[in-house]
Structure formats: structure tokens, C-alpha cells
Amino acid sequence: MSFTCESLIPFAPEIILVIAALSIMIIGLFMETSSKKLLGYFSVVALLSSTAIIIAKGVYEVELTGLLAGSLSIDPMSQFFKLTFLLVSLLVVIASIKEFEEHSNQDEYYTLILLGTIGMMLVASAVDIVTMFIGFELASLSTYVLAGFNKNEPKNIEAAIKYFIIGAVSSTLLLFGLSYMYGLSGGLTNIDELANFFSMNTELLISPMGIMALVMMTAGFGFKMALVPFHMWAPDVYQGSPSVISALLAAGSKKMAFVAAFRVLLVAIIAMKVEIGILFAILAVVTMTLGNVVAVGQKSIKRMLAYSSVAQAGYIAMVFVVVTPEALTGGILYVMSHAFMKAGAFITVGAVCYVLLKQNSKAQDVDHIDNFAGLGKRSPFLAFSILVFLFALAGIPFTAGFVSKFILFLAVLKEGYLYLVVIAILNSALSLYYYARVVKYMYVLPPASDEKMSVPTPYVIAIVLAMFGVLAIGIVPEPFVNWATSAAEVLFY
């Protein structure tokens, strides 16, 4: 198979990011810290142009398969997720411009975010298990470093190390599982071919080796998706990392695991023809329940958001139980909605922490819920934004959270899993408790200090963009639903 420049054209968005990432790395070597902020703007431009190209090419009906020796394809599914990743990175980069303004290694920071984004985009397009794994690792390695980016903060370092160790274990498991698939199929790496092979040789999948492969892959993806019991790193890391990086992890790299799992696990489940729904039902129920229950007791907002993120992964995991196009539509829509809601929430919390630290540089545990008391008086904008994002996460109507929950739960109900829907709805009700508690702190309790909080513009832009996304999906759901439907159809037809 010949390699020509033309075969690269469909990957213009990724290539732009590669060029941008490498140039930032090199230019950064020759720049003063004070002017490195420009590199942030440069990254914004790169991400925007990448986004523009994807939108210009159309996202509904693109279908290019067998690219780069059959390892990548461009379809509504890949475009949907790529756009999600790009938008999340965009939000994160915009918000970071202020947060890391004085950091001497900003150039590395932006390079790593862009490289991580490329990794995620690669996973979204990958139809070959080896390519997928490489994308996975590219994104993981970048985020390991980013999680510990504030080298002088012990909490950052601790978070990064934990993330790295558990990440390494999980990558091993994933690779192990993938290698079993490779071996069982006699040397196939293309997902479509694997699916064909296994649907004709179902007995291989339910052999001990096949089962091990499936379990290992579930564990490997489950780590990134933060499914119980592979979730334990998530609260520590989300809490310990800079808020913007928590946003990237929760809204970006977590969703990468979902697209990979949709493409590999879902296809494997379809091929298996054995009813293993109960396995994922247990995973989903345990994940959502544990996430919500533990979130109730949290005093740290970031940790609370981390557990809520675990719980939300539990909802999405219901897709693996009910393997229907409708459920997958709901799941995909949920991924995008959750990306906006969670990124918005983390960035807003990050903005609060930033301002609090600015006012008192010795403050400890700035994301403690007590610091949010009376926020409605100190900064109406931030308080209102948190309110919107939390209500969206809880699934209040006219927000993205409601629409995606509605479609997903309805699809699950349609297949007769009443008990799953009941548990999920009870969980949603429980989640409202801890979200509403934050709202109570912000609007009802008296402020800890009367000092007004002025929010730096980059944060405002990022927050407004995320809020726009949350409300757009909530108020005009139809285009997004259609889009998610066409993405879901990729796997089923």
C-alpha cells in the first residue's frame, strides 16, 4: 500500500495540531515567560482552525474508510467525538491562559494539551486495535504529565504519580486483552475484520481465553471511564490536579475511553451473541450508586464533581447492557453533554479557586465547600454558572443533562430494563441532593468575606462557551440528537 500526501488530507485537523504542538515546543525555548501567553492564543487558533475544518467537511454524512492502511476511518462517530475533544481542549486552553500566565513552562503545557488532544482524536478515528492503543497511550502520557504540572505542589505530584501507576497497570491490562484478541483471531487487528471473525467463531469468545480478553479490555477501558472498581484513582487525581486539567480528564480523556469502548467492546458484545448484559448492568448500577453515595459526603467541590463523574459514567455504561442504536444515541449524546457540563463545572470551580488564591495566596483547600458560601453575592456570574452546570448534571429540563438522560433512559426502558431505569432515576434524585447543597451554600448562606470577586476574562469566555453548549443541547435538542443518531448508526449498519 503506497503512502501519498493525498492520503493525509482527511487528517488535516490532526496535522494542524501536530504542527502547532511541535512549533510551540520549539518557539517556547526562545521566549520569555512573560510573553509565553501568546502561545496560549496560538493554541486557541490551532484548535479553532482544526474545529472549523471538521465542521466544514460536514459531520452528518462523511464516510471515508480504509485510510492509512485501513487503520483509520472518518465517519459521523469519529467526527462527533473529535469535535467534542476539540471543544473541550478549546475550553481548557482558554481557561488556562490566565491560570498559567506566570508559569515558566507554559510552552510545554500547551504542547502537551495539543498532543493529548491528537491522541484522543486518533482514538476516535481508529478502527485498528494497535492504532487505537497508540492513540490511547499518547493521550494518557500527555495527561500524566499535565496532572502533575505544578511541580512545586506536593498534591499535584501525588495525583500525577497515582494516576501514572494505576494508568500503567490498566494499560497493561488493556494491551493484554487486545493481544489475546489478536492471538485468538490468528493475527487480525482491524476491528471490522475481528468482528466478522468472531461472529463466525463465537465459541472462541466464550472460551477461557476469550473471556479473559474481554475482562482485560473492560478493565482497561473501565480505568479511563472510571467504572467501579477501576475508578479509585479518579477522585484523588481530579482533586489534586489543577482544575482545568481535571476538566480535560473528566470531559476529554474519559470520553476517549467511551468512544474506544463503543468501537471495540460494543462490537465484541454484538459478536458474542451471549447474554452478558447482566455483567455490565452490575457494573453500571454499582458505579452510579457508589459514585452518588460517596459524592453526598464530600466537602471538596472538586472531589464531589469527581464522584459525580464516576456516577455519570455509570449511566452511560447502561449502553453496554442495552445494545441498541437508540441507547447508543443516548450514550453518545450523553458523552457530549457531559463533556460540556463537567468541563464547565470544573472550569468554573477553577475560576473560583483562582480568584480565592489571588485574594489570599496562602489559602489551603480553596475548593472546600465553605469557600463557596455566599458566592451568589460575591460573584453572581460564577454562582449562576455553577448553578447551571450543576442543574444540568442533575438533569433539570432545558439543559443538556435532561435531554441526554431522557433519551438514554427511554432507550433502556424500551428494551424492558425497568429496574435499571428505576435505579438510575433514584440515583439522579440522590445526586440532586448534593448538587442542591452547593446551590444552598452559594445563595442562602452568608458569605465568608464581603470581598467581591472579579473574574478574569479568559475564564468568562470559557464558562460562557460551555454554558452555551449546555443550554443549546437542552433547548434545541433535535440537531444534536440527529447527529448522535447518525453517529450511532455507524456501529450498527
Partner 1 sequence: MVNDVTNIAYLIVALPVLAFVLTLAFGKKLPSGGGYIPILAIALSCIISIMAFLQIRETGMPIEISSHWFAVLNVGIFIDPLASVMLLMVSFVSLLIHIYAIGYMAHDPAKPRYFAETALFTAAMLGVVLADNILQFFVAWEIVGLCSYLLIGFWNHKPTAAAAGKKAFLTTRVGDVLFMAGIVILFFNMREHVLPHISGQEEVYLLQFKTIFENIALIPSQQLTLITLLFFGGAVGKSGQFPLHVWLPDAMEGPTTVSALIHAATMVTAGVYLVARTFPMFIAAPDSLMVVAYVGGFTALFASTMGLVMNDIKRVLAFSTISQLGYMMLALGMGAVIGAEAVGFAMFHLINHAFFKACLFLCAGSVIHSTGTNDLREMGGLFSKMKITGITMLFASLALAGIGIPFLKILDTPIGTSGFVSKDAIIVEGTYVFAHLSHNWIPFAFGVIAALLTAIYTFRLWFMAFTGKPRQERHPHESPFTMTGVLSVLAAFAMVFGMLTFLPFLEFVGHTYDHEEIHHLAVLGENTIIDHHELHHIVGEASPIIFLLPVVVGVGGLLLSWVIYNRRWISVASIGNWKNPIFAVIARRYYQHEIFIELIALKFTYGVLALSAEFIDRRIVDGIIDGISDFVVGAADIVKKVQSGVVQNYATATVAGVALLGLILTFLSITEVI
- Cα gap 245→117, rounded to integer Å: 12
Bridge partners, residue 126, by sequence? 72
CB 112 within 8 A of CB 103: no
- Cα gap 247→224, rounded to integer Å: 14
Among 430, 470, 473, 484, binds partner 1 (CB under 8 A): 430
Among 2, 6, 278, 450, binds partner 1 (CB under 8 A): 278
Which residue, 10 or 314, is less far from partner 1 as judged by CB? 314
SS (H, E, C) 234-268: HHHHHHHCCHHHHHHHHHHHHHHHHHHHHHHHHHH
Site for partner 1 in 444-483 (CB under 8 A): 476-478, 481
Q: Give me 391's grid cell.
A: 442543574
Shortest approach of partner 1 to residue 208 CB, angstroms?
A: 7
Which residue, 90 or 290, is less far from partner 1 as judged by CB? 290
The number of beta carbons lying within 10 Å of the beta carbon of residue 299 is 11
Q: Does 219 bind partner 1 (CB under 8 A)?
A: yes
Q: Does 236 bind partner 1 (CB under 8 A)?
A: yes
* Window of 19-27, 59-67, 226-234, 381-389 that interacts with partner 1 by CB under 8 A: 226-234
Bridge partners, residue 300, by sequence? 368
Q: Does 218 bind partner 1 (CB under 8 A)?
A: yes
What Å distances lie between residue 470 and 212, 342, 359, CA to CA? 39, 10, 30
Q: Does 232 bind partner 1 (CB under 8 A)?
A: yes
Among 25, 53, 204, 206, binds partner 1 (CB under 8 A): 206
The number of beta carbons lying within 10 Å of the beta carbon of residue 31 is 15
Which residue, 26 or 165, is less far from partner 1 as judged by CB? 165
Pinpoint the alpha helices (H) of 12-75: 12-29, 37-56, 67-70
Which residue, 213 or 490, is less far from partner 1 as judged by CB? 213
Which residue, 90 or 284, is less far from partner 1 as judged by CB? 284
The residues, any chain, with a CB within 8 Å of residue 304's CB and separated by 6 or more, are 295, 298, 369, 434, 438
Site for partner 1 in 118-177 (CB under 8 A): 161-162, 165-166, 169-170, 173
Q: Does 229 bind partner 1 (CB under 8 A)?
A: yes
Bridge partners, residue 368, by sequence? 300
Among 183, 297, 397, 416, binds partner 1 (CB under 8 A): 297
- Cα gap 197→452, rounded to integer Å: 64
Which residue, 197 or 233, is less far from partner 1 as judged by CB? 233
What Å distances lie between residue 321 and 287, 328, 387, 410, 476, CA to CA? 14, 10, 32, 14, 28
Q: Does 301 bind partner 1 (CB under 8 A)?
A: no
Q: Does 216 bind partner 1 (CB under 8 A)?
A: yes
Q: Does 270 bind partner 1 (CB under 8 A)?
A: no
Which residue, 148 or 477, is less far from partner 1 as judged by CB? 477
Residues that bind partner 1 (CB under 8 A): 161-162, 165-166, 169-170, 173, 206, 208, 211-212, 214-216, 218-219, 222-223, 228-230, 232-233, 235-236, 274-276, 278-279, 282-283, 290, 293-294, 296-297, 430, 476-478, 481
